[in-house]
């Protein structure tokens, strides 16, 4: 699976499954970071990775998810053909198109869900 898609999938998973890892200010910061970027997996993944490096717990969790996704993919029946990876079944069309909008929707939805369920400090200590 493409490394950029792995980053985007893992970060989206974190947004959905672990919104308490993010500070309230992170939501606006992430939206401002992603909004001006083109719908390009490499640029989005680089921006997210750069942002995560200053948020160590989020970065560590994202790397663990990426490792898990990579190992589950490597153990699947998908094969490398002529040096080009065949498209695995778990990569949906949504993963290949509209990455930016999908990511922004996950940020917005997770932000709303987190703000409506808790006003406590996040699990992530910067």
58 domain residue, yes or no: yes
Decide if 126 is inside a domain: no
State how far the alpha carbon of 41 is from the alpha carbons of 27, 34, 63, 67, 123, in Å: 20, 11, 17, 18, 28
Question: What pLDDT does residue 71 have?
Answer: 77
Which pLDDT value is given to residue 66?
A: 93
- Number of structural domains found in the chain: 1
User: What is the pTM for the complete model shown?
Assistant: 0.75
For 1-39, write each residue's pLDDT tens digit. 688 989 999 999 999 999 999 999 999 999 999 999 999
Q: pLDDT for 48-89, tens place per residue?
A: 999 999 999 999 999 999 999 887 665 554 444 333 444 444
pLDDT of residue 90: 47
Inside any domain, residue 82: no
Domain-embedded: residue 50: yes
- pLDDT of the residue at 80: 40
Instruction: Assess if residue 11 is contained within a domain.
Output: yes
118 has pLDDT over 90: no
- Model pLDDT, residue 69: 86
Other Cβ atoms less than 10 A from the Cβ of 61: the count is 21
């Amino acid at each position: 699976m493409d490394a950029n898609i792995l980053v985007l999938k893992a970060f989206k998973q974190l947004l959905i499954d672990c919104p308490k890892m993010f500070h309230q200010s992170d939501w606006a910061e992430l939206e401002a970071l992603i909004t001006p970027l083109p719908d390009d997996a490499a640029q989005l993944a680089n921006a997210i990775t750069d942002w995560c490096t200053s948020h160590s717990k989020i970065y560590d969790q994202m790397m663990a998810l990426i490792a898990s996704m990579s190992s589950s993919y490597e153990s699947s029946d998908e094969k490398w053909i002529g040096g080009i990876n065949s498209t695995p079944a778990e990569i949906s069309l949504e993963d290949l198109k509209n990455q930016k909008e999908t990511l922004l929707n996950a940020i917005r939805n997770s932000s709303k869900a987190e703000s409506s369920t808790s006003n406590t400090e996040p699990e992530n200590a910067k």
